Amino acid sequence: MKVGFIGLGAMGSAMASNLVAAGHHVMVWNRSETAAQKLASLGAKAVSTPDRAAQVEVLHSMLANDQAVRDIFFDGGLLDAMDPGIVHVNHATISVALARELADAHAKRGLGYVAAPVFGRPDVAAAGKLNMLVAGAHGAIETARPLLEAMAAKLWPMGDTPERANAVKLAGNFMIVSAIESMAEAAVLARAHGVSAADFIALMTSTLFASPVYQIYGKAMAEERFTPPGFALPLGLKDVMLAQDAAQAQKVSMPLASVLRESLIEALAHGAEDMDLAALAQVSARRANLDGRA
């Protein structure tokens, strides 16, 4: 199948590489040419503009945030440059409000639109083992299905309304950040009573909380290994704030989200812009005057 992919950060590059490996003709574009050239070395075709990447049957995008999506598809005119009948699969974690706007804008232009945000870090994406949420019109999803299955271990259908997938993605990321914050605070409590964070985390992640989120982020906390980020802390803040916006729109109370927001902002204020969400451990340690090693 002739496929386009724009947005080649750590996640996008890994996902696009699986489309190449599956034998599809993949055209790629990224603001930074380095990432596009790396995909080209695997067999993709790097193009110079987003509209050239959209001269395909299915266009995938994995952009960083709402503004990046707006810059390319609305302000940059990509939606107007796409031929009717093309299916756009948007993997980005974006606001529910923008998801609705995108669905309407695609429908008005005769374009298919599928929201397909993912759960999984870059290494999971590279292995083709993502859990992918999928929502949109049945026909558009079926057109894209072989491509989605090449990148995911499982597709999770969320109905025919695209923004449902984005709401679920934000709810899931809220739970991830909540788990990390609670583990950071608990580990500091153990440290304050003479138990190392490593010993405490090893116990919890082998017994009561033996699941990937606790194990992956707990190991990073115990080893104080916060770079390179698998889930960058600024993106965590973005997602928590988007979850708050989505909650407010439906009059849903999420008091814990305010706590998470403040911890994330505090981490950024202390220079964690390029760190993983596991760096929330530093915030809890600093608050308890336990800035030394775990």
Residues of the chain with CATH 3.40.50.720: 2-160
pLDDT surpassing 70 at residue 53: yes
50-62 average pLDDT score: 98
183-198 average pLDDT score: 97
Phi, psi values for residue 159, rounded to 5°:
100, -170
How far is Cα 239 from Cα 230, in angstroms, rounded to an integer? Answer: 15
pLDDT surpassing 90 at residue 294: no
- Say what the pLDDT of residue 262 is: 98
Helix (H) or strand (E) holding 219: helix 212-223
CATH H superfamily, domain 167-287: N-(1-d-carboxylethyl)-l-norvaline Dehydrogenase; domain 2 (1.10.1040.10)
Q: Please compute Rg for the chain using Cα positions.
A: 20
pLDDT 10s digits, 94-133: 999 999 999 999 999 999 999 999 999 999 999 999 999 9
pLDDT 10s digits, 130-178: 999 999 999 999 999 999 999 999 999 999 999 999 999 999 999 999 9
Mapping DSSP to helix (H, G, I), strand (E, B) and coil, where does residue 25 land? strand
- Say what the pLDDT of residue 58 is: 98
Q: Burial of 254 by CB count in 10 Å (0-12 exposed, 13-18 middle, 19+ buried)?
A: middle
CATH H superfamily, domain 2-160: NAD(P)-binding Rossmann-like Domain (3.40.50.720)
Average pLDDT of the chain to the nearest whole number: 97
pLDDT surpassing 60 at residue 252: yes
216-234 average pLDDT score: 96
Contacts 24+ apart (CB under 8 A), 26-30: 27/2, 27/3, 27/52, 27/53, 27/55, 27/56, 28/4, 28/53, 29/4, 29/5, 29/53, 30/6
Q: What are the residues whose beta carbons fall under 8 Å from the beta carbon of 213, sequence distance 6 or more?
A: 176, 179, 180
Residues of the chain with CATH 1.10.1040.10: 167-287
Q: Catalytic residues, which ones?
A: 169
Identity (one letter) of the amino acid at 80? D
pLDDT band for position 292 (50/70/90)?
A: low
- Whose CA is closest to 276, among 240, 231, 219, 220? 231
Whether the Cβ atoms of residue 82 and residue 57 lie closer than 8 Å to each other:
no
pLDDT surpassing 70 at residue 293: no
Nearest-5° Cα angle at 191, 187 to 192: 120
How far is Cα 157 from Cα 285, in angstroms, rounded to an integer? Answer: 40
